[in-house]
Amino acid sequence: MAKQKLQRFAELETFPNVFQQRVTFPHPDHFLKGKWHSDYFKNNSDIVLELGCGRGEYTVYLAEQFPNKNFFGIDIKGNRLWRGAKTALEKGFSNTCFMRIQIDHGIYYFAPNEVSEIWITFPDPQPQQTREHKRLTSPRFLNYYRKFLKPGGVIHLKTDSRFLFDYTREVVAQEKLVVHQDMTDIYSYPDLAPELLVRTTYENMFLKKGVPINYIRFSFS
């Protein structure tokens, strides 16, 4: 397993669709910050981020379903991210890339109003009170997203954790954010939107155990 990880890390260095964080202090802005449309994707289509993308299954699915949008899969774990990046290359997707960075470093990679949507799919709910600041829908992280999400840009949370779902609802209410959709046990609803139909490896594990999946979509304005 260790050898496989090393091989994947080495491959990531060669993938043209992967950007990796270099540890320097103070952290510099990425050279493509504010220029992803013009210098990388060569279009003005919406930019969508999947935060904590894991194997990149959701990122790849969305990129295939919505070829008129640009997608980033973001995760710090290169061994997992490798799978999504490799699949995107094999499929020849030009609207997809991956970042191996810490999520709270996104402010160094994206300029104000550069991002149109954020997806948070099955994150660690961080249930301990002392780890609230690590929850991806905490006020701390929402403040990061405000720095690059454009006005009216939406945030999607899809989770098996009822704890995180209810916590997010509370934060959204406290922050007086706009809720566009709120669903518990999404597969009990008919005619789900295409972006909600993909089932990742982790999601299938939860469903086999009878755990319902919850979803909320909201924005700052």
**Any domain includes 7:** no
Quick: pLDDT tens for 7-44. 888 889 999 999 998 766 678 899 999 999 999 999 99
**Any domain includes 108:** yes
Which residues of the chain fall short of a pLDDT of 50? none
CATH, residue 180: 3.40.50.150
Integer Cα distance of 14 and 97 in angstroms: 13
| Residue range of the domain that includes 152 | 17-219
Clarify whether 75 is annotated catalytic: no
CB 102 within 8 A of CB 21: yes
Closest CA to 32 of 110, 99, 95: 110
Backbone torsions φ then ψ of 122, nearest 5 degrees: 50, 55
**Any domain includes 1:** no
Q: Which residues contact 177 (CB under 8 A, 6 or more apart)?
A: 218, 219, 220
Strand 214-219, strand 149-159: pairing:
antiparallel
Quick: pLDDT tens for 1-10. 677 888 888 8
Q: Encoding tokens for residue 67? A: 């070829």
- The residue from 124, 160, 182, 185 that is catalytic is 124
**Any domain includes 126:** yes
Q: Total structural domains in the chain?
A: 1
CB 55 within 8 A of CB 200: yes
**Any domain includes 65:** yes
